[in-house]
Amino acid sequence: MALNLPQKIGALTTITPGDQVGTAKRRPSIAPMSTANMRCGLRTSGETEALTPPLSPCRSPIRTGLEVACQALTTDLTVETSPDVQEQKHLLEVPKGEGVPVYVMLPLDTVKPDGSLNRKKAMYVSLMGLKNAGVKGVMVDVWWGLVEKDAPTAYNWNGYTELMEMAKQVGLKVQAVMSFHQCGGNVGDSVTIPLPRWAVEEMEKDPDLCYSDQWGRRNYEYVSLGCDTLPVLKGRSPVQCYADFMRAFRDQFASYLGNTIIEIQVGMGPAGELRYPSYPELNGTWKFPGIGAFQCYDKYMRSSLQAAALETGKPEWGHSGPTDAGGYNNWPEDTAFFRKEGGGWNGQYGEFFLSWYSQMLLDHGERIVSAASSLFSNRPGVKISVKVAGIHWHYGTRSHAAELTAGYYNARSRDGYLPIARMLARHGAVFNFTCLEMRDCEQPADACCRPEALVKQVASAAKEAGVRLAGENALPRYDETAHEQVLNAATSGDADDKMVAFTYLRLNPELFKYENWKKFVAFVEQMRKGKAQSREVVEREAELFVQATSPFVQEAGVALMSA
């Protein structure tokens, strides 16, 4: 049975008269914690446990697995399941049929370049904090460029094995992202993790393995989908490489699948999203709210375009993509192709090209999700998901230019998300969508941004296709306005319309700041209960809970910053 916030507070702060040092069940002891210095110390085995009142109205010591987490900061972490952790695993489980479970994305550099787990002690403390706040689990990028970086099929899972065991101990579920893209060059990328060294070598030998724009810029974020089925990576095709990687992951973590690892999100493009790299931020190539640029000028994409044009009976359409679609930072009305009146996007050639361009992306997605579903289909309790980008700028225009360059053939007279939803439905995959936290009024009006309308359209497409929807926030937000926006989007409609999960961006020291943490705890509780309880009541309960856990939470923030 799940505990509400008052019950959690009681579990954290109440000691019965008989729970005295020497007679209570043995727990790891910690040194007194003061508000001036939150570092935790250890006592020797002969010392008694000093109980210092936490910052709590009830002035009682914190008596949970939080002590284990604090201890982890001052000792070398060993991967052994603590009895204190074990006995609490059931406390914050979200009952079936109640609300929307919340997950939290882990830092991009959770695993170090050498393959080991980064910031072990800080990670353990942070996971304990999330668990005690009612978070269901965490999401982590499993980087192709780290695990298989040195040689084909030579996998190093060490850091991820440590993380999965740690999550299991704490009692958190894991959404594992098969990240086949480069980290660096997109919104929020704080570190750089390139593709595997041997794959980059092949791309340097044959630059047409990279996505290319009409000006000859090569993009190394992700291997071009034009060569999906060709043996261009040391004798294997890109899709074979992705399938082999997922198979190796499945075999390595077989004992965690279905109990700790409950979701495999399959990366399909830049930032792990099913799209073309049409708006790369690297080196200032693109800036919001530019329309982006088509990525179909490598020889493999051009060959496919030529074949499609011949089949249509218009060979002249196969020479190139649109030449009048402007540049990365143009706006629709700056271009002949995307303009409202008489734009080429709405003509015969435009319809041909955009149908081909979007279908290539759909076929790419189908190949990879098909491989993933076949690999994990016999693993009960594991679902497959795919992330789609929330491209909300210029959504209010007729052409939806920014969506078109990314591969989503979505316009006033055409639903570009329904084909994606139907493709995912064929494989039982979850449709994961971003920008749930955004409101129209927060965006520049002249760029015709419509994130709220976009989210509603995607939800409608998912419902029509019979595919379950999950969500994420696109940018870090800690305010109640964003939380409420997510709550409304995730829990609107009847029970069947609720999202299956929401993943919060991202675990960092900012999240553990007192006010941010208090709002986050209240948000998690509201998501768990839906709209069954008033926001004011939840906020009051969250205030008490956060005060009770304040020393530990401050310690988690300090640990992350110092690490």
414 belongs to an annotated ligand binding site: no
181 belongs to an annotated ligand binding site: yes
The residue annotated as part of the active site, out of 221, 472, 525, 539, is: 472
392 belongs to an annotated ligand binding site: yes
Cβ–Cβ under 8 Å, residues 469 and 499: yes
Alpha-carbon gap, residue 276 to 225, rounded angstroms = 9
Residue ranges with strand state E in 134-274 = 137-143, 173-179, 210-212, 218-223, 261-266
Active-site annotation holds for 543:
no
153 belongs to an annotated ligand binding site: no
The token duo for 150 is 């040195």
The values of phi and psi at residue 136, to 5°, are -75, -40
The token duo for 260 is 């700790």
Give CA separation, 149 vs 153, 197, 229, 242, in Å: 9, 5, 21, 13
Q: 117 forms bridges with which residues in the sheet?
A: 111
Residue that is written with structure tokens 């595997």 in the block: 196
Distance of CA 316 to the CA centre of its chain: 42
Cβ–Cβ under 8 Å, residues 473 and 505: yes
Torsion of CA 87, 88, 89, 92, to 10 degrees: 150
Report H helices in 377-445: 401-406, 418-426
Cβ–Cβ under 8 Å, residues 178 and 266: yes
Query: Residue 332: is the preceding peptide bond cis (ω within 30°)?
Result: no
189 belongs to an annotated ligand binding site: yes
Stretch (H or E) spanning 216:
none
- Angle of helix 348-376 relative to helix 299-312, nearest 10 degrees, comes to 120
The token duo for 254 is 């077989």
415 belongs to an annotated ligand binding site: no
141 belongs to an annotated ligand binding site: yes
434 belongs to an annotated ligand binding site: yes
Active-site annotation holds for 484:
no
Give which of 407, 365, 403 is closest to 384, Cα–Cα.
365
The residue annotated as part of the active site, out of 273, 403, 437, 541, is: 273
Q: How many helices (H) and strands (E) does the chain have?
A: 17, 10
CA 413-416-418 angle, 5° bins: 110
C-alpha distance across the termini of the chain, in Å: 36
SS3 5: helix
Cβ–Cβ under 8 Å, residues 210 and 218: yes
Q: Which residues are annotated as a binding site for substrate?
A: 141, 181, 189, 387, 392, 434, 473-474, 506
- Name the residues annotated as catalytic: 273, 472
